[in-house]
Structure formats: structure tokens, C-alpha cells
Structure 1
């Protein structure tokens, strides 16, 4: 289980350049209105954008601390988002949705094949007939060439971080070691550390798992474009539909 207790409070600072508008547009391009289930919602940036656009949003995350930050934002913006703390491998909301999303490589935090299949099964169960699942994952190219062996760092006025990425024990896995230096109320800097494990799989494996779950009419693209995945693509996007009844 990931520890986000303190990480959640600087997460938005680290992700301030993330393309949340682009993720939200993927939903808007598929459905002009309806009920959206946002899995792995983090601090709620996509959920909030969708709610502001008029969607009925339910947001799920494993971390109560991430959800706390997300809920504070929703309250401040007077948005009626329902937040649920759950493991998406065991998802059960008691409702059906027009769209299920797993954006911002959240599925890469499920690091075993059985777990990924469970997430896709639960997503299928929670979709209305004709509903659509949208998700993205890191490519194997990104894991092997842009993460493993790399160090990232940033130094801002009240928070700094150093981020090392190492090869995981299994193929397609990366271990991220992050050290944060956060200014406290006394003007002193406190250090805290996080270890995050991500794993991705071959595109063909995701296709097989989606088929096993019952999805049809699959579309696969790369890097927020309409292009099919290419060798140096960094992010792979999947769109899959639950068949209509009959």
C-alpha cells in the first residue's frame, strides 16, 4: 500500500504541469454528459474539471489523504463530487456509469497481472451497456529509457525534491525513490521519503485482459494523439466499450 500521508500535500506542486485538461477532454469527446467514475483520482484535478463541465462525477482513490485534498477542492468550488476510498481491484460503488476513467497512469500502480485483470473486470461491471472505459499507461519504452537510471530534481522556495528511478525486480517495473524537503512553520526544512513502485505491460497483454473482461471495439493511441502507438511513444491510451444489451 502506498503511503501518501505527506506526499499528498505536495503532490499538486509536483504535478502542476500535468495535462489534466487533455485527460478531461478525452471524456468530453466521448460523452457530452452523463455519469463518470474516476478511478485513481488522486487530488481530484480531473474529477473537478469534469464536474465543472456538468458531469455527474464519482471519484475513487486508495489514499484517504489524497481524497481529503480532493474533497477540500470540491467543497471550495461548490462541486457535488462523491468521493469513495477503495482499492480499485475490489471496486464496488453500487452504481453504473457512462464512462469509467483510470487516468494519469494510475493503473501502473497495480503491479501484478491478476490485479490489472481485476481492475478491468470491476470497471466492466460498473459500466452501463454501451459505456466506455478510458485509461492510459506508461509505455515500456518510457519505463526502460526515460525512467530507469534517471534522476530528477527541483528546488522551489518552500519545497524541493530529488527523484531517483531504478529498475524493479520484474520486467516493466520501475521503483521511484523520492526525497522531499518541505519548509515547516518555523522556516526549517523537514525531509521525508517515499518509495513508489510502478509496472507496465505489453500492449497485447492489455488487449487480452480487456477481451477477457468483455470489452469490445477497442481503440489504442499514443501521447494524446490519434496516432497508433509507435516505438518512442511514452503514454499509451486505451478506449474500450461495454457491448449494448442484445
Structure 2
């Protein structure tokens, strides 16, 4: 990601308005018979929206993210809400936490930012180690269809009068990867727009490959579904969810 991530962190929440975070809570409630009193690892927590929601529900939350700028926003959010959430700056493939957890979640395709298959394997291995017996991991990733076809239908343009962006996409160097260049224009108080740019790389793998990596880490597969529905993935599913247990 580009060095302008500090700017991106402060508009991230507005860009994520259409993400049904409540659905993640419902899915975690279902997978773990409720989150109240549970120790939860929110991996790739970003600005801490999901961390805060889990904490409000009565979970003991630790948020982990690579970006110091994202974590600054997350910490300010927790402080302003009077929530006791621990935040740790770490790449997920180097996850190292004290104690054991009941639940781990990687939401909003954050795992797709881990490009190397070796690093994805290591991420699963470290999460397995961090979970206690019967601990559950829930995560979602972009499908191959979305990565190889939908993302390449760009360029994409977004404009809500305050934030405008132009998103150019191209195939990445790795199989089923995408290279994105985004130019953001954010309206300032004086009515002028400030520009900053972002470069992102994401990669996904087949459902079969994810299953193999999860099994190698020791996980038991409980549920694989797609696009927020209790249905198995199809060739044109866009977001694939995995619920697995230690």
C-alpha cells in the first residue's frame, strides 16, 4: 500500500458504509453461541468498527492491524466510546498474542492483502496457535470470479459530493491477483478538493486451496458459504466465507 495510507484511514469509514457489519456479529454469534464474555481477535481490524461493535456486545476484544494510521483511528474510536479494546500493530502473518482466544475474525477480505501463499499458510498457523480448544475462525475472501472478472471491468468511479475517487485496475503478477491504483479527491472545509493516491494489491485462492491450507494448519471446516447467504459458493459468487474450528 502507498505511503499516503494516513489520508485513507480518515475516510475509510465513509467508504465502508455499505458493509453489513451487523451481519458479522450475527455470524459470530451463531458460530460461537454468542460473543458475550468471549475473547475475540479482530485481525485486520482497520479503524476498529467491528472491534467496537463486538466490545459493545460484551466481548473482550484485541484488534490487530498492519497500519499504524488505521489503529490510531481505532484507538480514538474506542476511547471516545469508553471501550476497553487492546490494539496491536502487526502483519497477520506475524501474529503473536498473549494467552488464548475463543474467536478470531478476519473481515472485509483483509486476508486478500496477504499475497504470498506461504504467508497465508503462516497466518492460519498462527491463528490456530492463538485459539483455545474449540476456538472458531471466521473470515471472508474475494472469489476468483470477482478477482479475475469483476475487478477487471474497471475503471470505477465513486462520487458522494464529499469524496470522489477513480479506481483503475489491472491483473497483478500473481495468479488471481489485482493491482489497483486509486486517486481520491476529498472536499475540504473551504470547498476545495485535496487529492491523494493509493496503490493496493490483493490476491485470492480457490476454495479448494483455502481448505487445504486450513486443514494443514489443523482446522476443521464447519461451513463454507457465499455472499452473506447460507448457500454454498457458485462459479459467480463474489465473496466466500469460511467458518472453521480448532
**Same fold (TM > 0.5):** yes
Partner of 2:63: 59
TM-score by length of 1: 0.94
CA distance in 2: counterparts of 1:49 and 1:2, whole angstroms: 29
Partner of 1:241: 245
TM-score by length of 2: 0.94
Alignment counterpart, residue 74 of structure 1, candidates 75, 78, 81: 78
Alignment counterpart, residue 223 of structure 2, candidates 219, 224, 227: 219
Alpha-carbon RMSD = 1.3
CA distance in 1: counterparts of 2:25 and 2:72, whole angstroms: 21
Instruction: Judge which range, 176-185 or 64-73, deviates more.
Output: 176-185
Contact 1:149 1:164 in 2 (8 A): no
Aligned: 1:143 with 2:147: yes
Deviation at 1:26, TM superposition (A): 1.2
Deviation at 1:157, TM superposition (A): 2.9
Residue pairs, 1:13-162, within 5 angstroms: 13-31=14-32, 32=34, 33=36, 34-162=38-166
Gap change, CA 1:186 and 1:151, over 3 Å in 2 = same
Alignment counterpart, residue 193 of structure 1, candidates 194, 197, 216: 197
Alpha-carbon displacement from aligned partner over 1:208-237 (angstroms, at most 9, x marks no partner): 111110111432111111111111111111
Q: Which runs of 5+ in 1 are unaligned?
A: none
Count of aligned positions? 242
Instruction: Judge which range, 156-165 or 81-90, deviates more.
Output: 156-165
Alpha-carbon displacement from aligned partner over 1:46-74 (angstroms, at most 9, x marks no partner): 11111111111110000010011111111
